[in-house]
Amino acid sequence: MRAYLPAYEMVVPRTLDDALALLREGAGAWQPFAGGTDLMVLLEAGRLEQRKFFSIRHLKELRGVEEVDGGVRVGALTTYTDVRRSELLSQHFPMLGQAARETGGIAIQNRGTVGGNIANASPAADTPPALLAYGAEVELVSAEGARRVPYADFHTGYKQTVMRADELIAAVRLSKPSEGARHFYRKVGTRRAQAISKVCFAALAEMEGDALREVRVALGSVAPVVLRCRRTEVSLRGRTPDDETLTAALEELGREVTPIDDVRSTARYRTRVAQNLLREFLSGLRGGGFGS
Ligand SMILES: Cc1cc2nc3c(=O)[nH]c(=O)nc-3n(C[C@H](O)[C@H](O)[C@H](O)COP(=O)(O)OP(=O)(O)OC[C@H]3O[C@@H](n4cnc5c(N)ncnc54)[C@H](O)[C@@H]3O)c2cc1C
């Protein structure tokens, strides 16, 4: 059933400080509204319980992609179109561009934001696996001040995060991978566009000779949260991606993911696809077949 629009309130705070003051007013009394692409779906379905919203779309402190301290700061309001158009992100973080190109359609890419994707905390979201593989940090801001949280610690359970009710996501911070790093991102859905992921895979490898000096593997839609696969990483780190290593890593990944059967796919299919993508990633490293 559709929602009754006049039952909802939307205000537009003039500044970031005004927005943070609203959040402090009463835990959970007001909720931020960025692109609205997740919130409007709930509204249309009559499932938007929160009644009081404030728009953050115009807040310049939450915008922009810039170089800082040898890394890159991606403002929470950065849209998928902004990501696609950013030379800085294309050059150093190509998996973000790939995720953005495969998110929704053009209209969603124009409105949907990186901050909204993270805050919405869906385990099937497409940017988070890339952010995990890049070892991102989330910058949170409240009337009390700012703090940074490793993105790998941000999601604590299904739709649960460490973000307090008085906090906003201000930005995501990324350290640049080394020049020769290999980036591997695959989204598997029913169609090539406008599909929610059955499995989303992102991995980053830094090689030293034939060995994996550093490796990060992350997956979406295989657990209650987007998952950094640390045990699989341990099985790979310092090793050459030969057959023995590959077999051990695939087994470890099979134990590490905990997918479910749902309308989009089965747990068995998701596990198998996750393993196939890990195999593709590692096989590509052997021949030096692909890079960023
Ligand atoms: C047709 C369609 C297709 C889609 N396809 C995809 C897809 O392929 N892949 C994918 O991952 N997603 C997809 N989505 C989901 C959605 O577009 C993304 O999750 C998007 O990034 C949400 O951003 P937003 O700015 O629109 O969030 P909003 O809807 O404005 O907000 C979402 C949630 O985040 C909170 N929030 C927003 N910004 C902040 C902030 N800065 N700090 C704290 N909390 C905040 C809001 O309060 C709300 O709870 C799709 C949605 C639709 C409708």
Residues 62-102 pLDDT 10s:
999 999 988 999 999 999 999 999 999 999 999 999 999 99
Give the distance (Å) from ligand 1 centre to CA of residue 191.
20
Binned at pLDDT 50, 70 and 90, residue 291 comes out as: very low
Mean pLDDT of the chain: 94
Give the distance (Å) from ligand 1 centre to CA of residue 79.
10
Q: What is the pLDDT of residues 34-64, one digit of tens each?
A: 999 999 999 999 999 999 999 999 999 999 9
Q: What is the pLDDT of residues 19-32, one digit of tens each?
A: 999 999 877 899 99
Q: What is the pLDDT of residues 201-244, one digit of tens each?
A: 999 999 999 999 999 999 999 999 999 999 999 999 999 999 99
Separation of alpha carbons 31 and 48, rounded Å: 11
Task: Say if CB 227 and CB 257 are below 8 A apart.
Answer: yes
Establish whether residue 89 lines the binding site of ligand 1, counting it when its CB lies within 6 angstroms of any ligand atom. no
Q: Which of 273, 290, 271 is nearest to 187 (CA)?
A: 273
pLDDT value at position 289? Answer: 43
Establish whether residue 189 lines the binding site of ligand 1, counting it when its CB lies within 6 angstroms of any ligand atom. no
Give the distance (Å) from ligand 1 centre to CA of residue 121.
9
Average pLDDT over residues 6-10: 93
Other residues' Cβ atoms within 10 Å of the Cβ of residue 130: 29
pLDDT value at position 287? Answer: 66
Ramachandran category for residue 44: left, alpha or beta (phi over 0 → left; psi -120 to 50 → alpha): alpha
pLDDT value at position 197? Answer: 85
Residue 290 has pLDDT above 60, yes or no: no
Separation of alpha carbons 36 and 38, rounded Å: 6
Establish whether residue 129 lines the binding site of ligand 1, counting it when its CB lies within 6 angstroms of any ligand atom. no
Task: Say if CB 35 and CB 116 are below 8 A apart.
Answer: yes
pLDDT value at position 28? Answer: 85
Q: What percent of the chain has pLDDT over 90?
A: 87
What is the set of domains in the chain, with CATH numbers? 5-54 (3.30.43), 61-175 (3.30.465.10), 184-286 (3.30.390.50)
Token pair 């929704």 in the structure block, residue: 104
